Amino acid sequence: MKIITYNINGLRSALGKNFLLWIEQQDADILCIQETKLQAHQIPKELRLLRIPYFTYWSHAQKAGYSGVVIFTKNKPEKIIQGIGIDEFDSEGRTLTMVLGEYCIVCAYFPSGASGRLDFKMRHLEAFTNYMQQLKKEYLKVLVCGDVNICHKSIDIHNPKDNEKNSGFLPEERAYIDKFIELGYFDTFRYINPHPHQYTWWNMRTNAKKQNKGWRIDYIFATENIKNEVKHAYLMPEINFSDHCPMVLELGT
């Protein structure tokens, strides 16, 4: 099973850059896409042209041009859950959950703590953890795919010292990932790849990608019982539809 997570930073913009062709070339079983920036009436008709017969499931923000997630899946899921059951967060279209066989896959777009939203972000982190604990009781194998908007360790950011007071690398945000992992999850990318200078987001206003001055804020977390299924976990920094890059997880037995 091949899973891709990708913050696309505007789906309509990406479609104008041959994003559909890229999707077909990847031939993933599941794509978890964040920051679609679409509402229900704006879903592009071009998606009907995909030669891969994906089932698609959406969660939209009430605010136009903001947030939103979508899951593409080759196999029809047994269940789809929109949101985490708290309107404060669900109105921003941040979470979509799919139950597929023994797997429960969550597509998530965590809020940024910038622009005075740190309190909102921290409340979301707590609520999301409570939601994940419920899922973990119900389902055997659980994965979280998405933009977490947090760099976990110093290895995950190009300049840790200068970013210690910036949201995305604050001690309390990083401690959240520690606590989340302690609940029985692992970082699938770091499980395979311990090397530095591996990032998923670059500030395009400062031309940071050319210098690889980035942040690794996109993850696929999985419950510990999936470790023996991990075959490959890698980033695709050469892909430029967004200021993020895709992360890929390949599972097998």
- What whole-number distance in Å separates Cα of residue 164 and Cα of residue 162? 6
Q: What is the arrangement of strands in the sheet containing 218-223, beginning at the earlier edge strand?
A: 79-82, 95-100, 103-109, 141-147, 218-223, 185-187
Q: What residue numbers bound the domain in which 242 lies? A: 2-251
- Per DSSP, 182 falls in state H
Amino acid at 118: L
Instruction: State the pTM of this model.
Output: 0.97
Q: What is the pLDDT of residues 188-207, one digit of tens each?
A: 999 999 999 999 999 988 88
Amino acid at 59: S
- What whole-number distance in Å separates Cα of residue 33 and Cα of residue 218? 11
Mean predicted confidence (pLDDT) in 111-119: 95
Mean predicted confidence (pLDDT) in 110-115: 94
Residue 112: its pLDDT value, please? 96
| CATH classification at residue 49 | 3.60.10.10
Number of domains in the chain: 1
Q: Residue 48: which pLDDT band, with cuts at 50, 70 and 90?
A: confident
* Active centre residues (catalytic): 147
The sign of the dihedral angle between the CA atoms of 21, 22, 23, 24 is: positive
Q: What is the pLDDT of residues 119-153, one digit of tens each?
A: 999 999 999 999 999 999 999 999 999 999 999 99
Q: What is the pLDDT of residues 202-237, one digit of tens each?
A: 998 888 999 999 999 999 999 999 999 999 999 999
